[in-house]
Every structure is written in C-alpha cells, then in structure tokens.
C-alpha cells in the first residue's frame, strides 16, 4: 500500500490554502492565426460551451475569425509508479460538456489566474522574460482531492491517488508568417511530494473536431463523428481532419505533436524511451483497441503502449481515415525516477494547417493533402529545438548563441520587424504610409541586418461576403520593392515609394518614409490592406527568406467621403439609394441585423435622425470622425472593428429602428445636424424589398 505519510503530506498541500477559492480562468491566443482558448489548468479548447456561448470565444479556430474549429478540449496526463502502485493525474478526459468543477478526469486545481507576457517591445504586455510574441502562463497542482469554491468544497470524482505534482505551464504563439499556425504547450512538472515517482510518462490528450461552426452549429453526435484520424510515427505527430462533415468549408488539419522532454535539464537517457500514440472512440467501453480508459491502470497502460507499436499498425492506420468520434493521446516515456524536488519539462504543439486540394476526396487523406501539415509541424519542431539545431541534446560548436552554456529552446529565426504603418481612407482612394524601422532589424540567428524589402497586399472587392473569409488566402500581392541589383526577389529599388523627406501626422510621433496610393477604389466596400517586410535569407544557416506576418500590419479600410466641414463638400446623402434588400455587400447573410446602408458627406461630429414619410421618428444616432462601425453588426460579422479605418465622413446604418424593429419598404427622410455649428441638412432615400 502507498505510504500513509505520503497521503498526509499531499492532503496538507491540498488543504493548506483552504478558504482561498480555486479558480478556472481562460484566455484566447491572438498573436498568430490560431485563436485557441487556453486555461490556467493547461487545458486547450472550451468544449463549445461556457465562454464559447456566453463570450463568443473560439475553442481552437484556424484561421482566426473563419469559424473553422479544430478542438473540443484537451489536457495534460502524467502517470507513474509510487511505491509500486500506479497513479495517473489527468487534466481532461472524454466528457460531453468538457470541464466541470469536480468532474471525473479534471484533476488539476489552481488558485492562480493565467497571466500574459510578450517579447514584442511595443506590446502592452512586454516582458524581458517572455519567450514568444504572446506567452500565457500559470501554475497548477494535482495535490488536492477537492475543488474549493467560495462557498463549498467539491470532491473531485475518482481522484484518489494524486502523484504530488506542481506544474508550471506556458502556452506560446508567434505572429511570424511561417509560425502563426501552431501553439506550443510547455509543462515543467515538479515532484513536490515526499516520495519518488518511477517510470514516469507524460502525455497530452486532445479531443479534436474539425468543423465549420458557421455552417454547422456544434451539438449532437452527428457534429462530432465526422473526423478522420492518423499518426506519423517519424514525426511524433497525431492529427485529425474533417472526413465527411463540412468538407469544402473546412479543408484543414489539426495536429498534436510531441516536441521533446528533459529530466532535470537533461535529455532522457532511458534506452526504452519512446513516444506512444493512442486513439479511442468517445466513451467506448467495449472495443478492445479503441476503448475509453477510466481507471488509473487503464490510463497508464494506454500511456505506456501505443497503437503505433502494434504489429498490425499499418492496417490500424488505414482504418483510422474513416470518420468517427475519436480522441487522441500522445505520451512519452519512461523518464527515469523523479525524485522529490526534481522536474520533468515536456513540450507539445497544437498545429493547424490547410489541406492541399489535390482533386481527391478529403477522406483519402493523401500525402499531398497533408503537405502543409508536415511543413507546419517542422516549424514547430524548429521552434522547440532552438539552439540544438541538430537535435542531439548537445551544445555543439557555434550553437550556444546566447553564451549561457546550456541549450536554449524556443528560438525562431526572425523576419524583419513589421514597418509602422498608417492608412488614410479617402474618396475613392486609400493612402498607405510606412516607416523605415524594418531596415534596422537584426536576425537573432545570423546576427546580421538582413532586411531586403517590402510587400503590400490587398483583398479584392467582395472577398468578405463571397465565401468564408480567410485573409491568408484572400490577401493578394499588389506590389513589392526591395534592394536593387542583388539578384533577390523584385530587384526594383525603392524610388517609386520613398518620400523626398519623411512626414508626420498630428498626434502621431512616428516619421513615415514611404507612401503608396490605391486609386479608383470603390467607396463603401471593405478593402483589407496588409504590409510586410522580408529579409534576404541566410545560406550559411540554410534559412529561406523570411517575411513578417501580414496579420501584424493589417487594416480593414472603407474608402469614402471625408469629414464635411461646414457642409463645404455638398449635402449629405445615402447610398445605395434606392436600397434593395440583400445589397451586394451584405453577402448571403439572412440576418436582418447584417443589413448595411451608408450615410456619406457627414460633418466630423453629427447627429442623424431618420423619419418615415409621415414624420414618425425611426432612429437617431450620432457620428464622429473616429467611427469604426461599432454600432452595426455587419462589422462584427464581416470585419474587425479593432482594425477598421473609415474616411471620417461616412456612417453605416443597420436598417433597424431605435427599438430594433425591422423597417418596412417605402420612402424615408433624414436630417443631419452638424453638432459643431448647429447647421442642418435634409435628404431622403427609398427602401425596396
């Protein structure tokens, strides 16, 4: 039997802070293109409940804003032997509603919220200790048998033999264009009990589901049973894809990859150390291979032996392409004995990737379809390896770049810093200005200023309502400029865009050195602008040319009339006029809240009143030059109000009354009052349905 003193020690750890409530806190990754809910207990995903429904947080959305989800939930697993007895602590398991306070399988607790820091100097969370562009970090424990709420103590179901672990957790994500598709989950697992833990295995469990929630709302078994699964042994990479659900509206993979682990700062030396892959059907109790493990012994057996080690693995692998409701476990070990006070550090990556369309059905899961997934997995491994470029767990000559005489992990080659950009929307034009700060960027790998040039991107008119918006796909290269006569990329120089002298703008201290104008732009339509900087690559270190992420420098721009001072630019007007229900820029939305009609030629500060032909007030609202569409749902559906740029003299209206009633067809009158001068102008428009 387990030593009774171990139990007493664990219980005292679990109870010592009784009276202070345990908490469950979530944040959403936003540096890269994966919008994943991360909790202070090391969980990923929100099970399409809780914050998904109440706050609109995604579970694991890629591309961010697309509605394409990839994960139900997932959590850390740790197993080992204490005095010869099996004990496993799990962060998440099969559960129809995901995390619940005291729920079986959700065995970690914390009184510490999840915190944020960033390695970016201009980020409000900048911290010199940060690893990535957005670190989430927290600490949690498996030591308590209870969850302490503000009013009660809830027993954790079936959590009877805690290992005695303290886990320092961090989730890392970057905005680089070559690394914005993964989130790294790093765990420092310390034995804080009085007993050693033998034959330790560390794993991560994930319930993947690749579906487009804009097409099929989550819920019911039919939503979850369309996933195909598989595993690539050589990459320690498990993955899932949409085999038969929203095919054509998903076209992506989600991967779970073991990146590596260390015991007390050293790579594992156990010759039997291996990475194991398991998958099982949701809460299945009868299938000999794909059953859901419920006891600690069953869980440990899954962690210590994988389907990928079975003689008939090839047949199993082929069968996993068929759709089903499965979850995934990757585990690594055994690590040597973990003595009290010692630490194991293990990292996993959640990787998303677009499916390469090769003309074959998604259910085929061909090698060509997986090409992006393989490439993206490679970048996640590069990030983990850091200075240990050849993955031999030794600092070879020239690898200790920071001079601290140990392997520093989580280092990526970096593209130039994104240029500071300013966008000005005008009448049928968009002006883009940017600074020269990217030219001074120093790559941390080569230690050189390797800036090469700039690239400017824009979306086509109507991209946002014609299909499922995907900025990585919809942004089209408009122009590029780089150092001339060196045989790299455009080779065209900067004369066409460089200003004779830098300019500044009121309220903005940045000096802008470059300028480009988009002309003949359709007013009222959304044009997404992105600007990047790229380097020349590094042949010595075998690095290709790297480009800053378009998602960093992005603006949702609406060309239109500028602010109309003293009505000097003519009288205000409405467009389209007449308005036909379902205007082109409203796309396929059937929601009345997504209608949009524009008032133009407005003063910098104005009040707009709308009346029926009979003189009844329909709606009233105010306009100011800083308007970003925040009072119209269209911009939440099709745009991003945090990045919207208007011309200053236009305001969208959702065609709903001040009581949020749908208005009828007919003639309407409006009155615009200049709130600075008090002058009024009148006009009319027609609604046709």
- CA 270/CA 159 separation, integer angstroms: 29
- CA 522/CA 602 separation, integer angstroms: 18
Q: What is the pLDDT of residue 457?
A: 96
Q: What is the pLDDT of residue 17?
A: 41
- The tokens describing 492, both together, are 């065209």
Maximum separation of any 2 CA atoms in the chain, in Å: 89
User: Which is it for the CA torsion 219, 225, 228, 233, positive or negative?
Assistant: positive
Q: Which residues of the chain have pLDDT under 50?
A: 1-18
Work out the number of other CB atoms within 10 angstroms of the CB of residue 667. 12
**b/e for 83-96, b at 16 or more Cβ within 10 A?**
eeebbbbbbbbbbe
Which helix (H) or strand (E) covers residue 137, if one does? strand 134-141
Q: How distant, in Å, are the alpha carbons of 54, 57, 228, 242, 527 from that of 49?
A: 8, 9, 23, 21, 33
pLDDT per residue as tens digits for the range 244-295? 999 999 999 999 999 999 998 888 877 889 999 999 999 999 999 999 999 9
- CA 584/CA 649 separation, integer angstroms: 22
Q: What is the pLDDT of residue 189?
A: 98
Q: What is the pLDDT of residue 8?
A: 39
pTM: 0.72
- The tokens describing 26, both together, are 């979530």
Contact 430, 423 (CB under 8 A): yes
Contact 379, 259 (CB under 8 A): no
- For residues 592, 594, 599, 603, the Cα torsion angle rounded to the nearest 10 degrees is 120
Contacts of 472 (CB under 8 A, 6+ apart): 33, 63, 354, 550
Helix, strand, or coil (residue 141): strand
Structural domains of the chain in order of their starting residue, each with its CATH number:
4-385 (no CATH), 421-558 (2.60.40), 565-688 (2.60.40.3580)
Q: What is the DSSP string of 453-492?
A: EEEEEEPPTTHHHHS---HHHH-EEEEEEE-TTSSSTT--
State residue 375 phi and psi, 5-degree precision: -65, -45
Pairing verdict, β 680-688 and 326-335: unpaired
- CA 381/CA 502 separation, integer angstroms: 42
- CA 572/CA 276 separation, integer angstroms: 68
Q: What is the pLDDT of residue 592?
A: 79
Pairing verdict, β 680-688 and 579-580: parallel
pLDDT per residue as tens digits for the range 115-164? 999 987 678 898 889 999 999 999 999 999 999 998 899 999 999 999 99
| One-letter-per-residue 3-state SS of 197-265 | EEEEEEEEEEEEEEEECCCCCCCCHHHHCCEEEEEEHHHCEEEEEECCCCCCCCCEEEEEEEEEEEECC
User: Mean pLDDT for the chain?
Assistant: 91
List 604's β-bridge partners, or say none: none
Distance of CA 207 to the CA centre of its chain: 17
Residue whose tokens read 């790294």: 184
Q: In terms of Cα–Cα distance, which of 101, 98, 119 is closest to 172? A: 119
Contacts of 286 (CB under 8 A, 6+ apart): none
Q: What is the pLDDT of residue 589?
A: 59
- CA 640/CA 179 separation, integer angstroms: 22
Contact 672, 649 (CB under 8 A): no
């Amino acid at each position: 039997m387990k030593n009774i003193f171990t139990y007493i020690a664990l219980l005292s750890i679990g109870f010592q802070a009784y009276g202070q409530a345990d908490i469950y806190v979530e944040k959403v990754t936003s540096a890269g293109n994966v919008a994943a809910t991360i909790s202070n207990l090391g969980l990923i995903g929100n099970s399409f409940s809780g914050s998904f429904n109440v706050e609109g947080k995604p579970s694991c959305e890629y591309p961010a804003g697309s509605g394409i989800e990839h994960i139900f939930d997932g959590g850390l697993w740790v197993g080992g032997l204490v005095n010869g007895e099996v004990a496993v602590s799990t962060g998440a398991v099969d559960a129809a509603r995901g995390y619940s306070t005291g729920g079986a399988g959700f065995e970690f607790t914390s009184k510490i919220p999840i915190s944020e820091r960033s390695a970016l100097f201009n980020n409000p969370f900048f911290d010199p200790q940060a690893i990535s562009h957005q670190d989430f970090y927290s600490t949690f424990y498996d030591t308590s048998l209870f969850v302490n709420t503000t009013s009660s103590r809830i027993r954790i179901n079936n959590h009877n033999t805690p290992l005695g672990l303290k886990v320092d957790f961090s989730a890392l994500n970057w905005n680089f264009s070559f690394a914005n598709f993964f989130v790294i989950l790093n765990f420092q697992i310390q034995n804080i009990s009085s007993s050693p833990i033998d034959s330790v295995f560390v794993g991560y469990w994930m319930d993947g589901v690749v579906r487009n929630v804009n097409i099929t709302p989550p819920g019911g078994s039919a939503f979850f049973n369309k996933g195909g699964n598989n595993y690539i042994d050589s990459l320690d990479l498990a993955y899932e894809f949409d085999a038969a659900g929203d095919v054509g509206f998903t076209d992506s993979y989600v991967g779970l990859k073991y990146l590596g682990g260390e015991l007390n700062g050293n790579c594992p030396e156990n010759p039997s150390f291996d990475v194991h892959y398991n998958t099982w059907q949701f809460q299945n109790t009868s299938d000999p291979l794909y059953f859901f493990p419920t006891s600690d012994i069953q869980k440990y057996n899954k962690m210590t032996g994988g389907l990928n080690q079975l003689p008939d693995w090839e047949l199993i692998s082929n069968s996993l392409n068929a759709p089903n409701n499965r979850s995934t476990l990757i585990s690594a070990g055994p690590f040597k004995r973990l003595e009290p006070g010692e630490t194991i550090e293990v990292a996993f990556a959640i990787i998303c990737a677009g499916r390469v369309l090769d003309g074959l059905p998604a259910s085929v899961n061909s090698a060509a379809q997986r090409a992006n997934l393989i490439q993206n997995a490679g970048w996640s491994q590069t990030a983990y390896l850091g200075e240990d470029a050849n993955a031999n767990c030794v600092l070879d000559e020239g690898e200790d770049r920071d001079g601290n005489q140990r392997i520093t992990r989580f280092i990526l080659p970096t593209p130039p810093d994104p240029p500071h950009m300013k966008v000005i929307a005008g009448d049928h034009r968009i002006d883009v200005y940017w600074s020269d700060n990217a030219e001074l960027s120093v790559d941390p790998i080569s230690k050189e200023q390797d800036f090469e040039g700039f690239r400017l991107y824009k979306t086509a008119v109507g991209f946002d309502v014609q299909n499922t918006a995907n900025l990585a796909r919809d942004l089209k290269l408009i122009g590029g400029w780089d150092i001339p006569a060196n045989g790299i990329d455009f080779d065209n120089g900067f004369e066409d865009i460089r200003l004779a002298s830098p300019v500044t703008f009121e309220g903005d201290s940045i000096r802008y050195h470059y300028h480009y104008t988009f002309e003949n732009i359709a007013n009222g339509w959304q044009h997404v602008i992105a600007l990047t900087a790229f380097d020349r690559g590094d042949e010595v270190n075998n690095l290709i040319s790297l480009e800053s992420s378009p998602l960093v420098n992005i603006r949702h721009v609406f060309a239109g009339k500028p602010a109309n001072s003293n009505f000097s630019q003519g009288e205000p007007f409405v467009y389209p006029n007449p308005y036909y229900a379902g205007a082109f820029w409203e796309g396929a939305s059937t929601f009345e809240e997504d209608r949009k009609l524009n008032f133009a030629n407005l003063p910098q500060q104005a009040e707009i009143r709308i009346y029926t032909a009979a003189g009844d007030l329909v709606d009233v609202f105010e306009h100011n030059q800083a308007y970003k569409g925040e009072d119209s749902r269209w911009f939440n559906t099709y745009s991003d109000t945090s990045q919207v740029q208007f011309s200053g003299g236009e305001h969208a209206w959702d065609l709903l009354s001040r009581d949020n009633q749908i208005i009828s067809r007919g003639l309407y009158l409006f009155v615009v009052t200049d709130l600075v001068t008090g002058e009024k102008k009148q006009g009319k428009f027609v609604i046709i349905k």
